[in-house]
Structure 1
Amino acid sequence: MTHELVKKLAKQTFLAFENPYKSINKVFPTAIDKIADEPFYYLGVKNRPEIPNELIHSLEKSGNYALHTLDNYAFGGRAIDTLMTNPLTGQPMTGSSSGTAVNVFLGINDIGIGTDGGGSVLAPALSLHLFSFISPSIAKEHTSAYLKQSTDGQSFSPSIGIMSRQLSILREIVSLVLPVELNEEINKLNVLVVYDKERYSLNLESSDSIKVTYIQTNLSASRHELIQHTRRWLEEYDMIISKEGPIDFHGLGDSIIGHVGSEAKAYQNKGNKGLVRIANMINAAALTVPTESLATGYVVLSKESEEHIGNLFRIAERLETEQDELLDKYFRDFGTYLNEGLFNQRDS
C-alpha cells in the first residue's frame, strides 16, 4: 500500500463527510481497512434494494474495491432530482441515480453503481461527462423480481449500471461482473448511427471490420415509438450509436413535467434525451462516452452477448476524447472543499 494511495482515500472520505451536494446517504469510513491489493477503488452505491448485496460483496472479495458510500437518488425514481444540483451545469441534477453520478464526478468515489429503468444511469452519466454501462445480465436473477412501470406506461425491470470517470476502470469492473469477451480487435460490425437534426461524423471509418450506416430519426419521439424503431434496428445491425445532449440544460427531460401541457412537453424534449430513455426497456447493453461538449456524449447500444459487449468497449475506445483538465482541476481538487475559509488558514 503506497503513501499516496492512503492520502487519496483519506481525502475522498473527508469530502464524503463534507457532502457538499447532499448526494450521500451514508459514509463507510472504515472502507480503507479493506485494502488488499492495488489498484484500489472506492465504490458508491445507489441506496436501492434492486442492487443485491452479493454483487457488492463479490467485488470487495477481489481486494480491489470497497463500499465507500450509499448514495441519495431522485425521489420516486424521477428523471430529474429537484433536491440536488448538477455541479457542472447548475441545473437540477439528472436522475434517478443522481447522487451516485455526482459522487463519482466529484472524486468522492472512483466507481458508482446504480439502477437504470429508463435512463437513470446513462443520462446522469452523460450530464456529468462520465462513462457508464448498463446490462440486464448483471445480477439478472435479482433485478428481474422488480417489475415496474414508467410514468409513460412502459413496463420494465431495472438493469444494474456502472459509472466511472475512466473507460479503463469501467471496462475492468464490467469484466468482473459479466463473462465478457473484451476483444483485442473489432470483429466485423454492422453499425447504425442515428441522428436527429444534424448529421455528425464519427471516428469510425467503414472498412473490412466496420460498416457504418446513417439514418435520420426523431430522438424526441415517444418511448413507445423509439422502442419499436430500436428493436427493429437491432435485428438488422450489431450496434446503434446516437449523440445526445446537452442533457437537462436547455430543458428538463422529465415525463412528469412533459405531462402537463404542450409547452411543458416542448420543454421536456429540450432535455435532449433520446435512446438513453429506452436502452434498458429493450433489454440492450448500453454504454455512454462523453464528448468535449457540455453534458453531451455518445450512447452506444448493442445486443446482449459476450462478443457484442466486448465490441461496445472497442468502439468506445475509438470515440473517447481527452478528459477536460479544467473540470478535473476545479471539481476534484479536494483542497477547494476542505481548506478554504478564515479558520482553515495556516500560520505562515
Structure 2
Amino acid sequence: MYEYKLNQFLKVAKGSIKASKLLEKTVEKLNEDALLEVKDILMKHDTVITIGIKNTGQINKKYIKRLIDKGKYVWHTIDFMSEGGRAVDDRLINPLTLRPMTGSSSATALNVLYGINDIGIGTDGGGSVLAPALSLNLCSIMAKGMGLKGSIDRVSTDGIKFVPGIGVISHSFELAKESIFTMLDVKEKVIRFENIKVCICKKGEITLPDGKDMREKLDLVLSKLMDMKITIGEEEFPDFENRENSIERMNEIFKAYDMVITCEGPIDILGLGDSVFGTLGSFAKSVQNKSGKYMVKIANMLNATSITLPINEVASGIVITSKEGLEEGMAAISVVENLKDIYSLPDLYYRYFKESYLRENKDIIFSL
C-alpha cells in the first residue's frame, strides 16, 4: 500500500511539472498547493483524483465543491477554452491525428490524455465535451439530461439557442461515472435492462468518413445488448448535416425509444467539423460534413445525456445518448457499464500518454 501511495504522489508531482510546461498552452492556472493537498489526502485515503476545470463561468462552483468535499479530489489545473468557444482550437494540435484539436474543451481533454489530470470537467454546446474526448480516444459523460448544466443561454454559430451541458472526460469510465454522480449528489440505481428500448440506424444509411458503414461497426455492441435482453429497433436517421433538422428527427425517435447508439469518427481527420469554416462555400461545407460528428453535434441541444466510449480505431468511438431525465441518464450509464470492456486500446497508447510520467528524460547533463 505504501508503494501504491508513493506512486500516486509521484504521478501528481510529475503531472504538475508537465502542467507547468503547458502554461499559456493548455493550462491557464496551476494549483501550486496541489502537492500539499495530495499529501494530506493520502494520509487518510488510498488514492487521490486530480481535476482539471475548463475556465468558464458556466460551471457552478458547487459542483467542484461537492467533489472536493469527498476528501479524495484535488483541483489541479484551470484549463484554457478555445477562442470564442469555437468547435476547433487553432492553438492546439491533436497528438494522435496531428490535426487541429477539436472542441472548446480541447485543452481540458489534452490535460487528461497526458495524465496531468484524472478527470477534466468541461462544457458542451454542440459537442465540446463529447467530440474532443472522441478525438483523443477518451471516455466522456455529458450529463445535461440528468440536470448537470450551465445557467447562461448561448446561441450556436448556426443560430440555435441552448444552455451548455456540463460533462466529464477521463481515461477511466468508472472515474467519469463516479464524478458525475458526486457532482449531482445522487446515488446509482439498479436498472432493469429488459425495459430499455435502443434505436440504431439501418445498414447502408450512414457511411462514415473512412468509408465504413456505421451500422456494421455497431455489430459487437448490438451482440452485447441482445445478451442483456435490451430491445433494439432500427429507424431512419437524419443525415446530421443540418443540425436543426437533425434535432427535430431525433426528438421524434426519442418518443418511442429510450436511447440512441451511434458509432462516430474518425473525428476531424478527413474533414473539419467547424461551422465557421463550413459557411465559406460549398467546398468548405463538404469538408465539414466529413468530420465524423453525428449525435455529438446535437446531444446537448436535445437536453440529453450522452456518453462516449472509445473503440480501437483512431479518434473514434461508440456514442450512447439517452433522452432527458435523471433515471434515463442513469440507465445509459448502466448500459455503458456493460459495454466498456468490449474494446481495448493498445498498451503503447497508455504508455505514451497516460503513463508518460514514468518516462525518464535522461538529459545529457545527468547521463555523463
For the aligned pair, the TM-score class normalised by the smaller chain equals: over 0.9
Instruction: Name the structure 2 match of 1:304.
Output: 324
Taking structure 1 as the reference length, the TM-score comes to 0.92
Cα RMSD for the two superposed structures: 2.1
Inter-partner Cα distance in structure 1 for 2:357 and 2:162 = 43
The answer to whether structure 1 residue 41 and structure 2 residue 49 are counterparts is yes
Inter-partner Cα distance in structure 2 for 1:301 and 1:217 = 14
Instruction: Name the structure 2 match of 1:314.
Output: 334
Deviation, structure 1 residue 263: 0.3
Count of matched residue positions in the alignment of Structure 1 and Structure 2: 343
Instruction: Name the structure 2 match of 1:111.
Output: 119
Structure 2: 5+ residue stretches without partners: 208-212
Instruction: Name the structure 2 match of 1:206.
Output: 226
Instruction: Name the structure 1 match of 2:346.
Output: 324
Deviations 1:192-225 (A, max 9, x none): 0136122221233436831111235344321011
Q: Secondary structure at the match of 1:104?
A: helix
Range that drifts further, 20-29 or 277-286: 20-29
Structure 1: 5+ residue stretches without partners: none
Instruction: Name the structure 2 match of 1:249.
Output: 269
Deviation, structure 1 residue 102: 0.3
The percentage of aligned residue pairs carrying the same residue is: 37
Going from structure 1 to structure 2, the CA distance change for 1:180 and 1:307 (only over 3 Å counts) comes to: farther
The answer to whether structure 1 residue 235 and structure 2 residue 274 are counterparts is no
The answer to whether structure 1 residue 166 and structure 2 residue 187 are counterparts is no
Inter-partner Cα distance in structure 2 for 1:205 and 1:97 = 31
Taking structure 2 as the reference length, the TM-score comes to 0.87
Range that drifts further, 46-55 or 307-316: 307-316
Range that drifts further, 93-102 or 196-205: 196-205
Aligned residue identity for 2:351 = K
Deviation, structure 1 residue 17: 1.0
Aligned residue identity for 1:323 = L
| Displaced runs of 4 or more, over 4 A | 137-140, 335-338
Inter-partner Cα distance in structure 2 for 1:336 and 1:9 = 11
8 Å Cα contact 2:273/2:291 also seen in 1: yes
Inter-partner Cα distance in structure 2 for 1:6 and 1:215 = 50
Inter-partner Cα distance in structure 2 for 1:21 and 1:106 = 16
The answer to whether structure 1 residue 16 and structure 2 residue 19 are counterparts is yes
Deviation, structure 1 residue 338: 6.4
Q: Secondary structure at the match of 1:109?
A: coil
Going from structure 1 to structure 2, the CA distance change for 1:12 and 1:124 (only over 3 Å counts) comes to: same
Instruction: Name the structure 2 match of 1:346.
Output: 367
Aligned residue identity for 2:162 = F
Q: Secondary structure at the match of 1:319?
A: coil
The answer to whether structure 1 residue 190 and structure 2 residue 197 are counterparts is yes
Aligned residue identity for 1:186 = F
Inter-partner Cα distance in structure 1 for 2:62 and 2:251 = 32
8 Å Cα contact 1:220/1:272 also seen in 2: no
Deviations 1:277-298 (A, max 9, x none): 1101011111111111110011
Inter-partner Cα distance in structure 2 for 1:133 and 1:325 = 23
Deviation, structure 1 residue 340: 4.8
8 Å Cα contact 1:180/1:309 also seen in 2: no
